[in-house]
Structure 1
Amino acid sequence: MRVAVTGGGGFLGSHLCEALLRRGDEVVCLDDFSTGNPANITPFLGNPAFELVRADVSRSVDVGGRVDAVAHLASPASPPDYLRRPLQTLAVGSRGTENALRLAARHEARFVLASTSEVYGDPEVHPQDETYWGHVNPVGPRSVYDEAKRFAEALTQAYRSHCGANTGIVRIFNTYGPRMRPHDGRVVSSFVVQALAGEPLTVYGDGKQTRSFCYVDDLVRGIMAMLDDDEPGPVNLGNPVELTVFELAELVLDLTGSRAEIQFHPLPVDDPTRRRPVIARASERLGWVPEVGIEDGLRRTVRWFADRPADIAAALTAIRGGQLDGGSAAEPRLPGPTLAAS
């Protein structure tokens, strides 16, 4: 297939691009690198099956040649990113999703929306299956991301119902692994960076709130299974093993050998207290289940971060300055000639 991946320079997007290339597909990566990292896709630039288009998909999505599938991953995804870019987050979830859907419709291509477990909000039903409608504050600080994804799901379903588009929706739960930005404000990257540096691990609330953590390789297998299928979804993709945030902090300390302390801070507004996916639909319809356990996945993630001391130093500078929102000075830039015009 020739697959267009919006947000292909990000954490998840770059892993998806790599997996598609590895199996022999052609990839068109679209990204404006507002939150993505050029270093993530630099190794692919010499591959003739890989094309990079630098573009803000909320403005336009232009891809030359045939397109067999579109994976729409473009969006700020960590709280610091979407809180810093509220209007851009809403734009990419609305206009960006429609532009990507139009691209797929023009080519009669398969379209897969990367939605999120955030559509469930702070759930009143636990664990969460795809029939649950969610418990979301539409005007809270997290609403720019939550509601952008909920609108994107409605738009994707409308294109399927009224335009006959071949669409699918995956709801992605917490995912971690190599290529996470070290100061993106997510709990795994924050804990690992702090532990490796011997800094106190920051736990918000009492640490009893729960999350389910899926290793990135498993998650990408699920997205690819959705691309290869005609399943409409929504389909939960995540690891159903549930941990408290405090248990995760202790595990990171154990795996890093760090003696750092754990510090507690007030819980952010509308932060979910429980989160665990029911993945029966993914298992039955896509043949997908996660395979990488939390300890194995965290070891791989710790090794990746430990090999990048300069990035950790830059991240700590940002954390101490309260700037958990952008790229670090250590992030390399792509040379201009490699960027196709959007």
Structure 2
Amino acid sequence: MHFKIFVGERSCYDEGKRTAETLTMDYHRGAGVEVRIARIFNTYGPRMCLDDGRVVSNFVAQAIRKQPLTVYGDGKQTRSFQYVSDLVNGLTALMDGEHIGPFNLGNPGEFTMLELAQVVKETIDSSATIEYKPNTADDPHMRKPDISKAKELLNWEPKIPLSEGLPLMVNDFRNRILNENEGKGMK
């Protein structure tokens, strides 16, 4: 047997989520408490922390600040991105429904990290550069949610494509970074 997946740099994140689901179901079965389980995939939108470490907010903040966009690895790994209002609608449907889950709440549309960097460049600053850094060995090559269960049982699917949601986030980030710079005496 090969246990590499359990000892990588990111394994505590994945194992923590798995443990939380197990404990939630144990609580449901043992105490009879009504629960819901959502598996939330990459979410973005206005009012996110400027430097929270997630790829969309990182790229947007870097481009606005005229810094290179940091891509880890070769940039071919894929992720999917859902706008915050889609997540809120999914969580509301889950809470209002009868089904416990787990339900994958995410946007199944995939982007490579290089494609995302290019979209951010086109949206903010076409002259932005990309800087490559080594990736962790256990970074998943793909994250794409299967939302068929959420579609069928919750009548939910994301509505806002990246092309519509990203500019809303960019406007918010641009305003906050401008205010941040003005507070430091920068213009």
CA shift, 1:271, in A, is 1.1
Partner of 2:70, secondary structure, is: strand
Letter in 1 for 2:171: R
Q: Is the 8 A contact 1:305 1:312 kept in 2?
A: no
Instruction: Pick the structure with more helix per residue.
Output: 2
**Residues 204, 311 of structure 1: CA spacing in aligned structure 2 closer, same or farther, 3 A cutoff?**
farther
1:251 corresponds in structure 2 to 119
Percent sequence identity is 51
Partner of 1:252, secondary structure, is: helix
The structure with higher relative contact order (CA 8 Å, sep 6+) is: 2
Letter in 2 for 1:246: L
- Cα distance in 2 between the residues matched to 1:226 and 1:142: 28
1:164 corresponds in structure 2 to 32
1:267 corresponds in structure 2 to 135
Aligned residues: 180
Q: Is the 8 A contact 1:210 1:245 kept in 2?
A: yes
- The answer for unaligned runs of 5 or more in structure 1 is 1-134, 314-342
- Cα distance in 1 between the residues matched to 2:145 and 2:101: 14
2:173 corresponds in structure 1 to 305
CA shift, 1:233, in A, is 0.5
1:291 to 159, 165, 179: 159
**Residues 143, 162 of structure 1: CA spacing in aligned structure 2 closer, same or farther, 3 A cutoff?**
same
- Cα distance in 2 between the residues matched to 1:145 and 1:208: 22
CA shift, 1:311, in A, is 6.6
Letter in 2 for 1:279: I
Q: Is the 8 A contact 2:9 2:136 kept in 1?
A: no
Partner of 2:36, secondary structure, is: strand
Offset from partner CA, 1:173-199 (integer Å, 9 cap, x none): 111011111111111111101111221
1:188 corresponds in structure 2 to 56
Letter in 1 for 2:140: P
CA shift, 1:310, in A, is 4.9
Moved over 3 A (4+): 310-313
2:88 corresponds in structure 1 to 220
- Cα distance in 2 between the residues matched to 1:210 and 1:163: 39
Letter in 2 for 1:214: Q
Offset from partner CA, 1:125-182 (integer Å, 9 cap, x none): xxxxxxxxxx982232223322221111001111222322211101011110111111
State yes or no: 1:174 paired with 2:42. Answer: yes
- Cα distance in 2 between the residues matched to 1:269 and 1:303: 35
- Cα distance in 2 between the residues matched to 1:252 and 1:307: 16
State yes or no: 1:155 paired with 2:23. Answer: yes
Partner of 1:206, secondary structure, is: coil
CA shift, 1:220, in A, is 0.8
- The answer for unaligned runs of 5 or more in structure 2 is 182-187
2:109 corresponds in structure 1 to 241
Offset from partner CA, 1:53-95 (integer Å, 9 cap, x none): xxxxxxxxxxxxxxxxxxxxxxxxxxxxxxxxxxxxxxxxxxx
